[in-house]
Amino acid sequence: MDPRPAPPPRERSLRPGELAGRRVGVWGHGREGRAAVRAALAAGAAGVLVADSRPVDPSSLPEGVTATADVTDLAGCDVVVRSPGISPYREDARSLADRTVVTTGTGMALAEAAARGVPVLCVTGTKGKSTTSALAAAVLTAAGRPAVHAGNIGTPLLDAVLDGVGDHTLVVEVSSYQAAAVPDFAGRGALTSLAPEHLDWHGSEETYFRDKLRVFTSCPERSVVVSAQARPLAEQHLDPAQLVDPAEVLPAGLAGRVQPVHLPGAHNRSNVEVALAACALLGLDLAAAADAVTAAVAAFRALPHRLAPVATLGGVTFVDDTLSTTPVSVLAALDALAGRPLTLIAGGQDRGLDYTGLARTLVQRRDTVALVTVPDTGARLAGDVRREAAGAAVRLTETQSLAEAVAAAIAGTAPGGVVLLSPGAPSYNRFRDFEELAATYEQILVDAGAERVRTS
C-alpha cells in the first residue's frame, strides 16, 4: 500500500503572483478568505468574486470585489481560493474542482515562501500544535533567530507572507483542514499528537490521519520531529526515514535543565521537547544557546483557552481549557491537574467520537474527580460513566446549560479544588466558537462573584 496520503480532489498550490490577470473566486469570507481577497487584489486579478453562505455587506468589500451567496457562481472564475473550513470532500467542492482550478491560502503562502527561500517550520497535531509552534517561535527569537508565528492560531499565513517576513523564520501552525491541501511542502516539520478529530470534515478517521500528515509527504529525510505518542500512526502514512525523535537531536542534559513553569502536564513536557527539537532541525545550536533557551521556556505561559486559570472564588481555581475538543485532550488535562480535587465540566457538539475511554478514567478517579455535563455529548458521556461504574457511586451531575453547570460546579467543589471547563467536543451546538464559550464561562464566574486571574 502506498503510505502517502491521497490528495483532496484536484487542488493545486499556486503562488499569489499567478492570480494576476485572472478572475479569482474566494470561497468563504472569514480571516483566511479576506487574506485571499487581499492577495488577489495585490497580484492584479482581473476581478474577485466572494462566495459565502452568510450575507456579505457590499460596502465592506474593496473596489473590484463582488459577493454572492451561490457557490456555483464560482465556476465562472479562473481560480478559486477555498477557505479551510470548507471540506474539499463536499459534493459542491468536488463539482467546483471539476470545473475550475482550486487552491488554498496556505498552499499559496507556502509556495511563495519556498520561492523566496524563507526558512519554514510547519507544526501540526491533533492537540499541542498551538503551544508547540508558539514556543518554537519564542525560543528561536530568544536565541537570536527572529521568527514570525502565523497560520491557524491567528494571523493568516497568506497575510504574513504578503507583509514580508524579511530574514525571519516562518513558524506555521497547520490545522488538518490546511494540511490536507498542501502536497509539496519541503521544509521542516513537527508533529505533536494524533487522535481522531474533525471526522465530519474529513469523512473518516483514516482520512483524517492521512490529511493531517499530507503536509509532510514531500519533506526530505530526517526533517519532521515527531512525539512518541504520534510516531506509530505517522509511520503508517509517512516514510519513517523522514521522522526524527526529539531525543536524537536534543543536547545531553538540556531536557533536564528546561523547566516549563507555566505549562503543566506530561503532554506539555512532550510539546516542549518537540518544539526544541524542531528548532534544532532548523539549525539552532541548542547547546550554545542553552541559557537563552531555558529562559524562554521558563517564561512561556499557557496560551489562552489551553489549561489557563481564569478566575478564583472561595479558594477554588477555575480553568479554561475550551480548546479541548477531543476525549484525548480531556484526559491530558486531567493528568496535568492530578493531585487536586477537581470538577470537570464537559460536553458540546456531537461528532461521533468515542467517550468510553474517558468515562473509564473518570470512574477510576471518582474519589478525586466529579463530572458535570452539558449537552449534547454530555448526555452520552454521562451514560458511558454510569455503564463503566456498574453500580459504583460516582459524582455526576447532568445539566442543560453552561450556567447550570458552573453553578453546580461552584456548589460542589471544595476550597483548594479546581473547576475545569474541558469540553472534549466543539462548542458549535450552543456557541459561535470556543472563544464565545470561554467568554461566557468567564462572565458567569464574574457574575457569581469570582475574581479574574491576572496573566501579567
Which residues are CB-contacts of 1 (< 8 A; sequence separation ≥ 6)?
none
d(CA 361, CA 365): 6
Length of the chain: 456
Which residues are CB-contacts of 194 (< 8 A; sequence separation ≥ 6)?
125, 126, 209, 212, 229, 230, 233, 234
Q: Strand, helix or coil at 216? A: helix
- Is the backbone peptide bond immediately before 184 cis, with ω within 30 degrees of 0? no
Scanning the structure block, which residue is given the C-alpha cell 520561492? 115
What is the percent of the chain with per-residue pLDDT over 70, rounded to a whole number?
97
d(CA 267, CA 333): 9
Q: Strand, helix or coil at 378? A: helix
Please give the C-alpha separations between residue 119 and each of 131, 134, 138, 317, in angstroms, as whole numbers.
20, 16, 16, 41
pLDDT tens for 140-154 read: 999 999 999 999 877
pLDDT tens for 366-418 read: 999 999 999 999 999 999 999 999 999 999 999 999 999 999 999 999 999 99
| Cell representation of residue 248 | 536524537
Query: Which of 434, 453, 217, 177 has the alpha carbon at shortest distance from 329?
Result: 434
pLDDT at 456: 57
Q: Strand, helix or coil at 124? A: strand
Q: Strand, helix or coil at 315? A: coil
Backbone CA torsion sign across 302, 248, 117, 12: negative
pLDDT at 105: 96
Q: Could you say which DSSP state residue 324 is in?
A: -
pLDDT tens for 6-49 read: 455 567 789 999 999 999 999 999 999 999 999 999 999 999 99
d(CA 6, CA 361): 36
Decide: 355 and 377 in contact? Cβ < 8 Å: yes
Partners of 191 in the β-ladder: 124, 226
Q: Which long-range contacts (CB under 8 A, 24 or more apart) does 438-447 make?
A: 438/304, 438/305, 438/310, 438/320, 438/322, 440/402, 441/310, 441/318, 441/320, 441/322, 441/402, 441/406, 442/310, 442/311, 442/320, 444/402, 444/403, 444/406, 445/310, 445/311, 445/313, 445/318, 445/406, 446/311
User: Which of the residue ranges 293-297, 299-303, 357-361, 439-443 would you say has the lowest mean pLDDT?
Assistant: 299-303
How far the first Cα of the chain sits from its last, in Å, is 52
Q: Could you say which DSSP state residue 75 is in?
A: G
